[in-house]
């Protein structure tokens, strides 16, 4: 089968990541880059084209697919331009800045009979896949809570991400991944209500903190919390923390880090209504929060997952050739955008929002 020929608009951070992955990828031939800032093209790898303009790339007959890796506020126009030129499109996340934009982009792709999907490669993150494997295994009994959190310890928000007009803010940046993961973890389960706190802790225009509570029809409450200003003087190379916690009535699981460490933890029997034992702890004397009786805490390893971001483009190649569906459906990205609207509404009003 002929390789799929991809041209990329935007040779910034993500453009470089795509270049690294796709310049030698089975089933794909990377053609080259366009960027509105010519200096960004100076280090394009030898052998790849440096287009003079987006139009030149979009109209190159040797390009089958245009991948949009430009700032968030550019996605709408660039996707429509590429679709109108008859090109298939992969768009970086967040697919659009609003539902209306997404409707227009999808309509242009539909009218021009081109394929349209979104780069949500974090569906293949090892920490997420591990948490999802625990959830899917039902080994924790009736699950009631899932917590997904990401904290940055240095207060960094970079470049255009601090400007609203560019599509900045953490909800558009990481929030879209974290919410997509939760919705994809509970496929087909209605999300009934959403409550959110969303703030600009130190940034003037854009959100840099959010806590989002989602109550699903199956009784699970998912919590997603992200903060960029969780200042801590951590060891040299550790400037963030990523955690998952899943709770059920037959055990809990903790999953820490992107390449996760953690365990499934159970008790040998339910330690309910046991005779109170007074233990002195740092918090003072306690009965509930002292050590468990010897031998009652049992642990099991987390499930092993085999996953990496290359899997995203492996699916793309198979789906492009009609062998399976695209992993990321536009209807799913629309649901995430709707959820982000509900998050903003709840943040604004301080009330929970009915969702589905």
Ligand X SMILES: NC(=O)c1ccc[n+]([C@@H]2O[C@H](COP(=O)([O-])OP(=O)(O)OC[C@H]3O[C@@H](n4cnc5c(N)ncnc54)[C@H](O)[C@@H]3O)[C@@H](O)[C@H]2O)c1
Instruction: Tell which residue, 200, 174, 147, has the closest CA to residue 72.
Output: 174
- Among residues 6, 7, 10, 63, which is the contact residue for ligand X, using CB under 6 A? 10
Residue number with the smallest Cβ distance to ligand X: 12
- Closest Cα partner for 307 from 262, 260, 253? 260
Within residues 54-73, the interface with ligand X by CB under 6 A covers 54, 69-72
Give dist(CA 301, CA 291) in Å, integer: 21
Contact between 92 and ligand X by CB under 6 A: the answer reads yes
Bond from prior residue into 188 cis (ω within 30 degrees of 0)? no
**Nearest CB to ligand X, comparing residues 66 and 143:** 66
Stretch of residues binding ligand X (CB under 6 A), selected from 11-19, 96-104, 185-193, 196-204: 11-19
- State in angstroms the smallest separation of the CB of 254 from ligand X: 24
Site string for ligand X, 187-216 (x = CB under 6 A): ------------------------------
Confirm if 133 and 303 have CB atoms less than 8 A apart. yes
- Shortest Cβ 250–ligand X spacing (Å): 35
48 vs 220, beta carbon nearer ligand X: 48
Candidate segments 3-11, 198-206, 330-338, 340-348, binder of ligand X by CB under 6 A: 3-11
Q: CA dihedral defined by 217, 218, 220, 225, rounded to 10 degrees?
A: -40
Q: Which range of residues in 8-16, 135-143, 238-246, 327-335 is near ligand X by CB under 6 A? A: 8-16
Q: For residue 85, give the nearest of 166, 175, 9 by alpha carbon.
A: 9
Residue 79 to residue 317: CA distance in whole angstroms = 20
For ligand X, the closer CB: 121 or 315: 121
Q: Which residue has the tokens 């973890």?
A: 185
Which CB sits closer to ligand X, 143 or 226?
226
To the nearest 10 degrees (0 to 180), the angle between helices 176-185 and 126-137 is: 20
- Sign of the torsion formed by the C-alpha atoms of 283, 287, 292 and 293: positive
Residues composing the chain? 356
8 A C-beta contact, residue 176 and residue 93: yes
Least separation, in Å, of the C-beta of 206 and ligand X? 13
Hey, which residues between 95 and 134 contact ligand X (CB under 6 A)?
119, 121
Of the residues 4, 8, 11, 178, which one makes contact with ligand X according to CB under 6 A: 11
Query: What are the tokens at 355?
Result: 């969702």
Site for ligand X, residues 124 to 183, rule: CB under 6 A? 159-160
**Nearest distance, CB of residue 48 and ligand X, angstroms:** 15
Question: Which of 18, 49, 76, 93 touches ligand X by CB under 6 A?
Answer: 93
Give the nearer residue to ligand X in terms of CB position, either 71 or 101: 71
> Contact 72/166 with Cβ under 8 angstroms?
yes
Q: Report how far residue 113's alpha carbon sits from residue 332's, in angstroms, rounded to the nearest whole number.
A: 19
Q: Which residues bind to ligand X, rule: CB under 6 A?
A: 9-15, 34-37, 40, 54, 69-72, 74, 92-93, 119, 121, 159-160
């Amino acid at each position: 089968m002929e390789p799929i020929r991809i041209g990329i608009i935007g040779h910034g951070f993500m453009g470089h990541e795509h270049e690294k992955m796709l310049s030698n990828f089975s089933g794909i031939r990377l053609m080259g880059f366009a960027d509105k800032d010519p200096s960004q093209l100076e280090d394009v790898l030898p052998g790849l084209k440096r287009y003079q303009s987006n139009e030149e790339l979009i109209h190159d007959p040797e390009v089958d697919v245009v991948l949009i890796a430009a700032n968030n506020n550019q996605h709408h126009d660039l996707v429509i331009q590429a679709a109108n030129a008859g090109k298939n499109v992969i768009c970086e996340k967040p697919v659009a800045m609003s539902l209306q934009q997404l409707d227009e982009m999808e309509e242009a792709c539909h009218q021009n009979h081109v394929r349209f999907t979104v780069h949500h490669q974090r569906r293949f993150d090892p920490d997420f896949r591990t948490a999802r494997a625990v959830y899917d295994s039902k080994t924790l009994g009736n699950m009631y809570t899932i917590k997904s959190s990401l904290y940055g310890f240095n207060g960094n928000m970079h470049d255009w991400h601090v400007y609203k007009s560019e599509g900045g803010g953490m909800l558009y940046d990481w929030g879209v991944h974290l919410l997509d993961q939760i919705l994809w973890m509970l496929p087909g389960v209605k999300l009934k209500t959403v409550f959110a706190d969303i703030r600009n802790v130190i940034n003037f225009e854009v959100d840099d903190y959010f806590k989002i509570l989602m109550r699903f029809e199956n009784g699970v409450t998912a919590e997603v919390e992200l903060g960029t200003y969780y200042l801590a003087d951590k060891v040299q190379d550790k400037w963030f923390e990523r955690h998952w916690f899943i709770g059920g009535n037959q055990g809990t699981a903790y999953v820490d880090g992107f390449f996760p460490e953690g365990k499934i933890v159970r008790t040998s029997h339910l330690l309910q209504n046991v005779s109170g034992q007074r233990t002195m702890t740092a918090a003072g004397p306690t009965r509930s929060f002292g050590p468990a009786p010897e031998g009652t805490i049992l642990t099991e390893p987390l499930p092993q997952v085999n996953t990496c971001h290359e899997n995203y483009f492996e699916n793309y190649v198979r789906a492009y050739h009609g062998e399976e569906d695209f992993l990321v459906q536009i209807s799913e990205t629309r649901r995430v955008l709707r959820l982000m609207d509900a998050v903003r509404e709840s943040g604004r009003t301080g009330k929970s929002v009915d969702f589905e």
